[in-house]
Structure 1
Amino acid sequence: MKQYILFIHGNAKTQSTAEEWETFFCAARASGLFNGGSAIGERCMLGEPSAPSSDHIVGYMRFDAENKQQIVDLLKQHPVLVHGGSAELCEMPKT
């Protein structure tokens, strides 16, 4: 089983509804792939500021799947993506 993290960008072109989020979270939970997540709150920069800020990232979700395509298919319903925004799906390497 591979682990993935989705970084959700705050760049949707139109506003999603609470109903859309509820529908998506129900589908995510029912898929068996979803393994938690959260909005991202206040942040502070540490160290030498040599990398761009992550202010555009407003939340994250965790998934576990044998096949990344399962997650990609599920994310077609994600409200940010449906409303013209973007997100990054990253495989988490095993250590």
Structure 2
Amino acid sequence: MTQYLLLIQGNATSPTTPAEWDRFFAAARASGLFQGGSAVGRREFVGDTATARSTAHITGYMRFDSAEKQPLLDLLKLHPVVLHGGTVELCELPKT
């Protein structure tokens, strides 16, 4: 089973609706792949702030576990941000 982190970018070209999120979360839970997530709140830089790059465009994250990537990619086509012309980034979490 591979673990994935989905970074949700705040670049949708039109507003998402609560009903779209409800439908997506229902599909994500029904898939058995969804492991949780959250919106991203206030940020704090620690360390060398002069060279830090902002992640302000990341508005949330989700966690998924999947033995095969394709079912997860198919599910993400239904993500409200994607449906509204925005971007989500799927990152594999290697076991280290």
Please say whether Structure 1 and Structure 2 have the same fold, judged by a TM-score greater than 0.5. yes
In the TM superposition, residue 32 of structure 1 has moved relative to its aligned partner by: 0.2
Q: What corresponds to 2:62 in structure 1?
A: 61
For the 8 Å contact 2:9–2:58, the answer to whether it is kept is yes
Shift of 1:56: 0.4
1:76 aligns with 2:95: no
Q: Give TM-score scaled by structure 2 length.
A: 0.96
1:1-95 equivalences under 5 Å are 1-49=1-49, 50-95=51-96
Q: Report the 3-state secondary structure (helix = DSSP H, G, I; strand = E; otherwise coil) of the residue aligned with 1:36.
A: strand
Measure the CA separation in 2 of the matches of 1:39 and 1:62: 12
SS at match of 1:6: strand
Q: Which runs of 5 or more residues in structure 1 are unaligned?
A: none
Percentage of identical aligned residues: 60
Q: Is the partner of 1:20 in helix, strand or coil?
A: helix
Query: 2:16 aligns to what SS in structure 1?
Result: coil
Deviation at 1:68, TM superposition (A): 1.2
- 2 CA distance for matches of 1:35 and 1:59? 14
**What letter matches 1:8 in structure 2?**
I
Residues of 1 paired with 2:58 and 2:69: CA distance?
21
C-alpha distance in structure 2 between counterparts of 1:80 and 1:52, whole Å: 23
Contact 2:45 2:52 in 1 (8 A): no
CA-CA distance at 1:51 after TM superposition: 3.5
Letter in 1 for 2:93: M
Length-normalised TM-score, structure 1 = 0.97
Letter in 2 for 1:22: D
Moved >6 Å (runs of 4+): none
